[in-house]
Amino acid sequence: MRRGAWHQCGDKSQNLVSEHLGNGIGVGVILSPKDLAARLAVQRAAEYRSLGADVLLDQQFYNPGYSNSNLQSYETTSFRQSITLLNDINDQSLAELTTALEKANRDIAANAVLAPSVVYQAASSQIIDLNARLFEAAKNAGNSIGVPTYATVVLGSSLVGNGPALANVLSSITALDCDGWYFGFEFGPERIPSDANVVRRCIDAGLTLASTGKPILHAYSGPTCLLSFGFGATGVGIGHHQTLWKFNSGHWQGSTAQGGGGNAPARFFSTRLWGTIICPDEFSQLPSAVRQLILTTSPYSTMVEANAASAWPRWEAGKHLVHVLGETIASISQMPNARTCMNNAVSTLNTANSTYSQVLEYVPTLKDAANSYHLPWITACEASLDQRADDYDYLELIASV
């Protein structure tokens, strides 16, 4: 697994991904069959490889009974059934699933096979057993192609507040004979998670997977990518739209709601804030010195730099976000170990929290409550550094072998 930023496709992002790869942003691409028909996926995969990226295909079996016209164009469409029906799948059908997965991944020349997987939930041994069988089919496909097979591990919202259930699920998951992890975490409805306990569970789950010595691709990471390398991730999936910032089961339940649409204003992402500020409504209220302090530049920010009151297109704001996150991730990914990355995250968040204090002097009420998560994240990071110190020692040990 290549180390760095991976483009998480979705929401009309195919051209955006090409543009950013052409600018040297990102090491890989995760295709979304929900948003891209099989024929076009083959074309896009070739395009992305020509730009130097690795390519993966996320099977998106999270709610296996959900389908749409794009998903129906893939060989795996006949296996999109309810969990109950899938749980009764026989050996012959599993072999057919292996064949379908092999063809889909050969067609795009995937660098690894991502196993199909239902979202893990509390008190559901049925899902654990089903995912183990789906992984077996994927592993056989990966072996046949001659590429690694990554187990898909998406921890559902019912596990967030249930420590014993989460530990049980992780124990079963880490027994899988995989070559790496495609890891997602369902935080909840917030735009950016702000509960220290929830963030801590995500970090601890990541540390548990990393302690197997296998690489982790943190899917749908969004701004939480700041924490990903701190729990041992190798790669992070980033995207321009809020629907790609975190995993949400609702996206595979037939919902067309996207959030942040219509006439929603552009949001300027600043690394100094490690968050966003609405542009121009909030950004233009700041004095020049504070604007310069929080200004993170990119090829897409020239309009904002030239005129703080300009009506910045949301599409340009999304491109700016991906560019800035990609550059930052490239830097973080060069740090020597997970402990260093986590300490860097704490330092970044402390700076961001202090800087937001200056912003609040001029914009007392930020629309997104954009600074609400800094201190909870710091609490979660410091607790993991302290209470999981042995795991950080172990990660340093296996990295040095």
- How would DSSP label each residue in 129-183? HHHHHHHHHHHHHHHHHTS-EEEEEEE-GGGTT-HHHHHHHHHHHTTS--SEEEE
Give the model confidence (pLDDT) of 111-154 as tens digits.
999 999 999 999 788 999 999 999 999 999 999 999 999 999 99
What average pLDDT score do residues 251-261 get?
56
Q: Do 141 and 102 form a contact (C-beta atoms < 8 A)? A: yes
What average pLDDT score do residues 306-316 get?
91
Q: Do 234 and 217 form a contact (C-beta atoms < 8 A)? A: yes
Maximal C-alpha separation, the chain: 68
Confidence at residue 254, expressed as pLDDT on a 0 to 100 scale: 64
Judged against a pLDDT cut of 70, whether residue 262 lies above it is answered with no
Its CATH architecture, for the domain 4-252, is Alpha-Beta Barrel (3.20)
Judged against a pLDDT cut of 90, whether residue 249 lies above it is answered with no
- Spell out the domain ranges in the chain: 4-252, 266-389
Judged against a pLDDT cut of 50, whether residue 107 lies above it is answered with yes
DSSP letters spanning 324-362: HHHHHHHHHTTSSSHHHHHHHHHHHHHHHHHHHHHHHTT
Provide the CB-side half-sphere exposure for 341 (13 A, CA).
28
Other CB atoms within a 10 A radius of the CB of residue 227 amount to 26
CA dihedral defined by 387, 391, 394, 395, rounded to 10 degrees? -120
- Crossing angle between the packed helical segments 163-173 and 196-210, to the nearest 10 degrees: 20
Give the model confidence (pLDDT) of 341-381 as tens digits.
999 999 999 999 999 999 999 998 887 776 789 999 999 99
State the average pLDDT for the chain: 93
